[in-house]
Amino acid sequence: MHILITGGAGFIGSNLVEYHLRKGDIVHAVDDLSTGSADNLTVFMNDQNFRFDQADILTWQGLDKAAAWADRIYHMAAVVGVFKVLEEPIKVLATNIAGCERVLRAVQTGKWNPQIVIASTSEVYGTGMHYAEDAGRGDASAIRKADPSFIPAFDEDMEPMVGSSVISRWNYSISKLAGEAFGMSYARKQGMKVIVIRFFNTIGPRQTGRYGMVVPRFVRHAVANEPIPVYGDGAQTRCFCDVRDTVIALDKLADEANSYGQIINVGSDREISIKELAELVKNRAGSSSPIKFVPLDEAYTEAFQETLRRRPNLDKLHRLTGFAHRWTLERTLDDLINAEKSRR
């Protein structure tokens, strides 16, 4: 297959490059390296089945030709990471929305109808508090006490809900919702093979902590025996999925015709609090690091609304693909810890 990956030097993008090259596919990646890294692709540069262009998805002149060549397109290019979103709110909106629409328009103008996988995010579910209230699972006072159990697992049929656009944190969610709307509209009106993926806390090799991702930050501090910073009280829960499982799930979904025109959660449904995660990383690293709780108003540059619980309903993913995870959280953490120790 001919595989085009936008954002191919990023975390998930570079793992997709590796996965498809191992399958014997021909891969063309593009990335402007604003958040991705050329180091993620160094090992592939001498592969005759790999090509890389450093370019901005908004202005890349080779997009139409590459889209016409591709059997499958993974649109991963985006401004990502909490810190990056807070620092560059305008770029988040411009790049994420216009970039997605430009990719879809390039496919529409061509004669070929490739499979298109669009990266979205679990952030579109918002804080989750309104789901708890709507379901009658707790009143506002209980939710304010930060009891995540009042917030149900997120499934794709839930109505997306983001916070006020006055708060820059939600620009990422807004931009991804716009991308979802573009993708579903092109699928309905143009018959394009579009799948939208809502990722839930993907982790693994090549992920950086520079832009706010929690696991690489915890691993780095634990291996260095430095204080492990937990933002807030650590009661908030997340579900972490290894990227090596994620890329297999994406491949299976792209090959399943019943996935086209669908929005699908991809991740793990094993839930853990951030405080428990910090303790788990510390223990598996054999670290002497203390756990340091950092108030949210100190951790971020502006008002920040935390999501208390983020657990996906994966029924649709399993129904469409029969997908099963291979990587446990412990196995992934051990792999990342060993890699960090080797680097040091």
List the catalytic residues.
Answer: 172
Per-residue b/e over 83-112, b at no fewer than 16 CB within 10 Å? ebbbebbeebbebbbbbbbbbbbbbeeeee
Q: How far is CA 130 from CA 120, 195, 269, 305, 332, in A?
A: 21, 26, 21, 13, 33
Tokens standing for residue 307: 């999501």
- Give the rounded distance of the alpha carbon of 309 from its chain centre: 16
73: three-class secondary structure by DSSP: strand
| Phi and psi angles of residue 313, each rounded to the nearest 5 degrees, phi first | -90, 120
Largest interatomic CA distance in the chain: 60
Q: 240 and 268 in contact (C-beta within 8 Å)?
A: yes
